Amino acid sequence: MLEKQDLLDIARTPMPFGKYTGRMLIDLPEEYLLWFAKKEFPAGRLGRLMALTLEIKIEGLEGLVKPLKE
């Protein structure tokens, strides 16, 4: 189930490792998230948020999340 806090976290959580360290999850390229989807998302909350970010991007709903970055 989608929670308001999940949307806030996607907008305000920086990627903690890898090629895009420091970028907010919503700003990660869709291709990068698709790569994780094929390999495996990280365990725990980060992985769940990354998977949700991918779903948001696929559905074209980024515009709902980006204003929450502030």
Do residues 11 and 69 touch, judged by C-beta distance below 8 A?
yes
pLDDT at 46: 98
Domain assignment of residue 40, yes or no: yes
Domain assignment of residue 70, yes or no: no
Domain assignment of residue 13, yes or no: yes
Domain assignment of residue 20, yes or no: yes
Do residues 69 and 12 touch, judged by C-beta distance below 8 A?
yes
The torsion defined by the Cα of 49, 45, 11 and 54, in degrees rounded to 10, comes to -10
Total count of domains within the chain? 1
Domain assignment of residue 33, yes or no: yes
pLDDT at 44: 97
Give the chain's residues under pLDDT 50.
none
Domain assignment of residue 60, yes or no: yes
Q: Which domain holds residue 32?
A: 4-65
Q: What pTM was computed for the model?
A: 0.93
